[in-house]
Structure 1
Amino acid sequence: MGDVALESTIQGNNDPSTKPDLVKIRPGLTLTFKATQAPAHTETIEWTEKKENPGLMSSANQSLTIKKDGNYFLCLQVTLDTEYSHRGTQHTVSLNKNGQTFLEGRINTNLSISTGFMGRLEQLVSDDILKVTIHPSAKINDTLLVTYLDVIYLPNRSTTI
């Protein structure tokens, strides 16, 4: 998935006595995060950036911090490591914003070892903290094809009615 070529220019400074800062933002900018292999079972998944991040999000301490206000389409899939998945166990995978779950999926190891694709559009603001948790803790498959967090950034637009 690539970046959309269209660019918007927004005014970054609302003080009329100073020259406005013009910031170019690319609607549809995409980010990809790869799960970092945990040494054993984990309850909070750590993410590393797979491609260059233009200052929209930062990753540290098993969390992602939002750096720019906007609408974020978050695409998540988590797959368990087959060696460590116990038949008959049900796992809950949650995407949390500031400690509150806003996207949740289940893995029932009798049927599957993956959540399948989960996605949601969420308005996020600077300093929001995102975490992906799995309960009960489990060893995940960190292959990018089966465990990933993709993000599409869409800047907020002021509309006048």
Structure 2
Amino acid sequence: MNEASHDLMPFKSNHSSPLEAAPQWGEGRMLTYTAVRAGEAIEWLAKRPNADLMSESGDTLSVMKDGYYFLNLRVTLSSCKGAAQQATVSLKRGARVLLQGRVHADTCSTGVLGKVVELSAGEGRLQVAVSPPSGNVDCAEAVTHLDVIYMFRP
């Protein structure tokens, strides 16, 4: 046997793995939410709901499945004069702030805020709040949206 063939080991596959029924690493799911109303918190509506991952109720979203979640948020105000110039937008899970950004005076927008977080089902609700409360959120999907990409956690 030569030296090169000595280092090669045969590949074995176990097709009865219990992980085969679960999504694998390359698989994910995407949810897109549009703003429908805003006061102290923004009320969201899923474009293509998936109640197995997240469910919405008023201004809160509930995580229904453990996993890694890529959160992508942008909030734009209709005008950013007066108190709105000092506005801060926060995406929270209970008291824990997951994303936070200030509204920029030149664009009236937070710009895109994004982060990957590990979330477990049933541990609090997600909520996006504008502080100080503002009823002038521009609800057009192109400028205010919450996008979520779910990734399986083994």
State whether structure 2 residue 51 is matched by structure 1 residue 61: no
1:25-36 → structure 2 map (5 Å cutoff): 27-36=27-36
CA shift for structure 1 position 87:
4.7
State whether structure 2 residue 109 is matched by structure 1 residue 123: no
CA RMSD of aligned residues (A): 2.2
Q: Give the counterpart letter for 2:41 in structure 1.
A: T
CA shift for structure 1 position 140:
0.2
Q: Give the counterpart letter for 2:27 in structure 1.
A: P
Larger Rg: 2
Length-normalised TM-score, structure 2: 0.78
Instruction: Give the total of aligned pairs.
Output: 134
Q: Distance in 2 between matches of 1:24 and 1:118?
A: 27
Residue 80 of structure 1 corresponds to which residue in structure 2?
A: 77
Length-normalised TM-score, structure 1: 0.75
Alpha carbons of structure 1 residues 76 and 98: separation in structure 2 relative to 1, 3 Å:
same
Gaps of at least 5 residues in structure 1 are 1-9, 13-21
Q: Distance in 2 between matches of 1:35 and 1:11?
A: 40
Q: Distance in 2 between matches of 1:90 and 1:45?
A: 18
**Structure with greater strand share of residues:** 1
Determine what percentage of the aligned residue pairs are the same residue.
36
Determine which of 134, 140, 144 is the counterpart of 2:130.
134
Residue 5 of structure 2 corresponds to which residue in structure 1?
A: none
Q: Distance in 1 between matches of 2:18 and 2:30?
A: 22
**Structure with greater helix share of residues:** 2
Q: 2:73, 2:114 within 8 Å by CA — same for their partners in 1?
A: yes
Q: Distance in 2 between matches of 1:86 and 1:146?
A: 18
Gaps of at least 5 residues in structure 2 are 1-16
Worse-matched range after superposition: 85-94 or 143-152: 85-94
